[in-house]
Amino acid sequence: MHQPRVAPLAEVVTPSLEASLSLWECVMRAAVAALRAAQPLAAFQGYEHALAIAHRLIEQPPEGRAGDCVAALVVSHHNLADLELERGRIDHAVAQLCAAHEALFKIFLDTTRGPALQQAALRHSRETHVALLNHVATHGPHTSIARTLELGERALNASTPLPH
């Protein structure tokens, strides 16, 4: 059976140090296309590239787009987690889910961040919280998830400082 050729990310995206939401979307579309074309390695590389872009966007979100930047971070982590699950790598999937949740609380608690970014992180933490609970419901308990959920609870209570 003929597999459609998906252009490598280098052909889709001109390398640039400047992160943008449109670049993130382009990279993410290419990664999704690679996955649909049964090219999981290309998809994995694309999702990792999208995650790197999302991290840069979080550092300098475009004006008025903080929520979109946080969403890009969450989607990137969650797509990597889904791909890791498909590959049977549950611990790697858990690491991605936990990293997303922990990153949001780190942003939320960082007083040097703008309030729009902090509020977007708090809003999106509901999604990452649900993703962690869904993982436990489907795959059983995991110590990393329990620890991450506890850190999130402590962050919300703000009476107990988070360990570094």
Q: What's the CATH code of the domain at 113? A: 1.25.40
Q: Give the model's pLDDT for residue 157.
A: 85
Assess if residue 138 is contained within a domain: yes
Assess if residue 55 is contained within a domain: yes
Residues 6+ apart with CB under 8 A from 16: 23
Instruction: Flag whether pLDDT at 10 surpasses 50.
Output: no
Instruction: Flag whether pLDDT at 88 surpasses 80.
Output: yes
Q: Give the model's pLDDT for residue 135.
A: 98
Nearest by Cα to 44 from 93, 11, 5: 93
Assess if residue 11 is contained within a domain: no
Assess if residue 31 is contained within a domain: yes
Assess if residue 2 is contained within a domain: no
Assess if residue 77 is contained within a domain: yes
Confidence of residue 3 (pLDDT cuts 50, 70, 90): very low
How far is it, in rounded angstroms, from Cα 85 to Cα 64?
34
pLDDT in tens, 140-159: 999 999 999 999 888 888 73
Assess if residue 71 is contained within a domain: yes
Structural domains in the chain (count): 1
Q: Give the model's pLDDT for residue 162.
A: 53
Domain extent, residue 149, equals 17-157
Mean pLDDT, rounded, of the chain: 89
Instruction: Flag whether pLDDT at 69 surpasses 60.
Output: yes
Q: Give the model's pLDDT for residue 34.
A: 98
How far is it, in rounded angstroms, from Cα 97 to Cα 84?
11
Q: Give the model's pLDDT for residue 18.
A: 66
The percent of residues in the chain predicted with pLDDT above 70, rounded, is 85
Nearest by Cα to 28 from 12, 41, 5: 12
